[in-house]
C-alpha cells in the first residue's frame, strides 16, 4: 500500500473512466493551472534536537559551537515533555517544506528519541532515527554523554527494539539507525560495538566524516588515520551508511566510499559555516559515489531543501570559478564542474532515495507515492517551457508555495 499503481495519460482509452471512478470515490485531487506535482524531498541530515537553535552562533568555530550552544541544548531532552513540543513542531515544519523522508540524529535519550518517531508517525513522515552514541569523556561534557561504551551500545540496542515494537502499529514505518556522533565523541570500544550492532540488525549507519579541519585533524592526531579509515575499521562504512558533510574527503576516502557503497549527505548551507571547504559534488557523482542533500539543522539554519538546493548550486559555482580575486583567472578556480538546479533536485530526490535504499524520489509506477503539490511562485508574463517553470520553482519556492504533501499516498499537509 502507498505505491504509485499507474501513470495514465489523457490519450489512453480508459482515462475518463479512471478519473470518474476516482472522483466518485472522493480520491481525485485536481491541480490548478499554476500548480505542479513533484516528488517529495529526502533530507539526509537533520539534528532534530537542535531545532530551537536554528541560526544561533553560526559565527563560532565548530568545537566551540558544540560545547557552548549545542550540547547544553541537547541535554535538555532528558525532559520528555520538552522533546515532545520541539519534535512536533520540527516535523510539521519539515513536512510543510515538502520533505517526506528524513534521516534524523536524536540525542542520547531513548524516550525523547521515541517521541521523535511518534511525531513522524503523527504527521505521516518517514523517519530514519538514531540514538546518538557519544561516550568519550575527553570530548563530551560530563552532563551529556553515555556513561560508558557498554551503555552506549546497550542503549542503542534497546532503542532498536523499542522502534521495532513501535512499528507494529505504524502505517509508515520508522527505521532505527546506528549513530556514532563522530570519531572525536566516541571511544574505540563504542565504535566497535556499534559496528557489531549494524551487522547484527542489518541497519543503516549515520555519522559525520571529514567535516572540518578540526574533526579531520582529530582522527589524524589520535588514531594516525583519517576518520573514514577509523569508521571503516570498526565496520561502520557499509552500503547502508550515510556520512554527513565530507568536505575534506580525499581520493582514498572516495575510493573507500565507492567500494563500500557509502553515501554522502551534502549539507551546503551548513558547510559554509563549519565545513572549511566546498564539497565537490560533480566529482563525487562522476565517480559514482552516492550523494544526497541535507539541511543539517541547526548547523544549517533553514529547514527548506529548496534553500539548500540553491546553496548547493551557488557553492559549486564558487568552487569552479574560485573566490580569490588576487589570483589570475586561470589559477583562481578548480576543475570541478558547477552543478545545475536539475542536479540539486536530483540530490534532494533520487540521490536521497538511493542513499537510504527506498523506492521513492521519482513519480513512476511501482514507486512510493511521496509527493508534493507546489504552486509556481512567480507569475508568467510570457509563454514558458516546462524547464523554465521548473527552474523558477526551484529558485523561488518557499513553504507557502507547497500546497499539499503526500507520504505513501497519505495526506501529510493540506
Cα–Cα distances in angstroms (integers) from residue 369 to residues 121, 224, 319, 359, 365, in the given order: 16, 47, 36, 10, 9
Which residue in this structure is represented by grid cell 552532563? Answer: 143
385 — pLDDT class (breaks 50, 70, 90): very high
Number of H helices, E strands in the chain: 17, 12
387 — pLDDT class (breaks 50, 70, 90): very high
- The CATH superfamily label for domain 38-356 reads Metal-dependent hydrolases (3.20.20.140)
- Percent helix, strand, coil in the chain (nearest 5)? 45, 15, 35
Task: Give 347's DSSP letter.
Answer: I
Does the structure show a pLDDT above 90 at 214? Answer: no
1 — pLDDT class (breaks 50, 70, 90): confident
Predicted local confidence at residue 175, as pLDDT: 98
With beta carbons less than 8 A apart as the criterion, state whether 198 and 150 touch: no
Is the N-terminal amide bond of 298 cis, ω within 30° of 0?
yes
Predicted local confidence at residue 72, as pLDDT: 97
**CA–CA distance, 263 with 120 (Å, rounded to integer):** 23
**CA–CA distance, 17 with 329 (Å, rounded to integer):** 62
Predicted local confidence at residue 267, as pLDDT: 98
Which residue in this structure is represented by grid cell 513522524? Answer: 120
Does the structure show a pLDDT above 90 at 357? Answer: yes
E strand segments, 362-413: 371-375, 402-407, 410-413
Which parts of 97-187 fold into alpha helices (H)? 110-122, 149-166
In the chain, where are the structural domains located?
A: 38-356
Predicted local confidence at residue 63, as pLDDT: 84
What mean pLDDT comes out for the span 115-126? 98
Contacts of residue 327, Cβ cutoff 8 Å, sequence gap at least 6: none
What average pLDDT is seen over the chain? 96
Q: Among 289, 233, 229, which residue's Cα sits nearest to residue 259?
A: 289
Task: Give 241's DSSP letter.
Answer: E
In this predicted model, what pLDDT tens digit does every residue of 125-167 receive, in sequence order? 999 999 999 999 999 999 999 999 999 999 999 999 999 999 9
**CA–CA distance, 370 with 298 (Å, rounded to integer):** 25
What mean pLDDT comes out for the span 204-227? 93
Task: Give backbone dihedrals phi and psi of 90, rounded to 5 degrees, phi first.
Answer: -60, -50
In this predicted model, what pLDDT tens digit does every residue of 57-112 receive, in sequence order? 999 988 889 999 999 999 999 999 999 999 999 999 999 999 999 999 999 999 99
Predicted local confidence at residue 285, as pLDDT: 97
With beta carbons less than 8 A apart as the criterion, state whether 216 and 256 touch: no
Which residue in this structure is represented by grid cell 551534502? Answer: 266
Cβ count within 10 A of residue 80: 13
Predicted local confidence at residue 380, as pLDDT: 87
Amino acid at each position: 500500500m502507498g505505491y504509485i499503481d499507474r501513470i495514465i495519460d489523457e490519450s489512453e482509452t480508459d482515462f475518463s473512466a479512471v478519473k470518474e471512478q476516482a472522483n466518485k470515490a472522493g480520491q481525485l485531487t485536481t491541480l490548478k493551472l499554476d500548480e505542479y506535482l513533484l516528488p517529495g524531498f529526502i533530507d539526509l541530515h537533520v539534528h532534530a534536537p537542535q531545532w530551537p537553535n536554528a541560526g544561533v552562533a553560526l559565527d563560532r568555530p565548530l568545537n566551540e559551537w558544540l560545547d557552548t550552544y549545542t550540547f547544553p541544548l541537547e541535554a535538555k531532552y532528558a525532559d520528555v515533555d520538552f522533546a515532545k513540543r520541539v519534535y512536533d513542531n520540527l516535523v510539521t515544519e519539515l513536512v510543510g517544506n515538502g520533505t517526506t523522508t528524513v534521516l534524523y540524529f536524536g540525542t542520547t535519550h531513548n524516550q525523547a528519541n521515541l517521541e521523535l518517531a511518534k511525531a513522524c508517525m503523527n504527521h505521516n513522515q518517514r523517519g530514519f532515527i538514531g540514538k546518538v552514541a557519544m561516550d568519550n569523556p575527553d570530548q563530551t561534557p560530563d552532563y551529556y554523554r553515555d556513561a560508558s561504551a557498554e551503555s552506549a551500545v546497550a542503549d542503542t540496542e534497546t532503542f532498536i527494539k523499542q522502534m521495532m515494537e513501535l512499528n507494529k502499529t505504524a502505517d509508515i514505518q520508522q527505521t532505527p539507525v546506528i549513530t556514532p556522533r563522530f570519531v572525536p565523541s566516541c571511544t574505540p570500544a563504542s565504535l566497535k560495538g556499534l559496528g557489531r550492532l549494524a551487522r547484527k540488525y542489518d541497519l543503516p549507519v549515520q555519522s559525520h566524516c571529514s567535516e572540518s579541519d578540526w574533526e579531520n585533524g582529530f582522527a589524524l592526531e589520535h588514531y594516525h588515520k583519517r576518520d573514514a579509515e577509523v569508521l571503516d575499521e570498526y565496520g561502520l562504512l557499509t552500503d547502508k551508511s550515510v556520512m554527513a558533510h565530507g568536505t575534506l574527503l580525499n581520493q582514498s576516502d572516495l575510493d573507500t566510499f565507492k567500494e563500500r557503497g557509502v553515501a554522502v549527505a551534502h549539507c551546503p548551507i551548513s558547510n559554509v559555516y563549519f565545513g572549511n571547504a566546498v564539497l565537490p559534488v560533480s566529482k563525487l557523482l562522476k565517480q559514482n559515489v552516492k550523494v544526497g542533500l541535507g539541511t543539517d539543522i541547526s548547523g544549517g539554519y533553514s529547514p527548506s531543501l529548496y534553500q539548500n538546493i540553491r546553496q548547493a548550486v551557488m557553492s559549486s559555482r564558487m568552487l569552479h570559478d574560485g573566490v580569490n580575486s588576487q589570483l589570475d583567472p586561470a589559477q583562481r578556480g578548480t576543475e570541478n564542474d558547477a552543478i545545475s538546479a536539475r542536479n540539486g533536485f536530483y540530490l534532494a530526490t533520487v540521490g536521497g532515495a538511493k542513499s537510504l535504499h527506498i523506492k521513492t524520489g521519482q513519480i513512476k509506477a511501482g514507486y512510493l507515492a511521496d509527493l508534493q503539490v507546489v504552486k509556481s511562485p512567480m507569475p508568467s508574463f510570457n509563454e514558458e517551457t516546462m524547464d523554465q517553470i521548473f527552474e523558477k520553482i526551484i529558485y523561488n519556492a518557499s513553504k507557502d508555495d507547497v500546497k499539499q504533501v503526500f507520504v505513501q499516498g497519505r495526506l501529510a499537509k493540506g
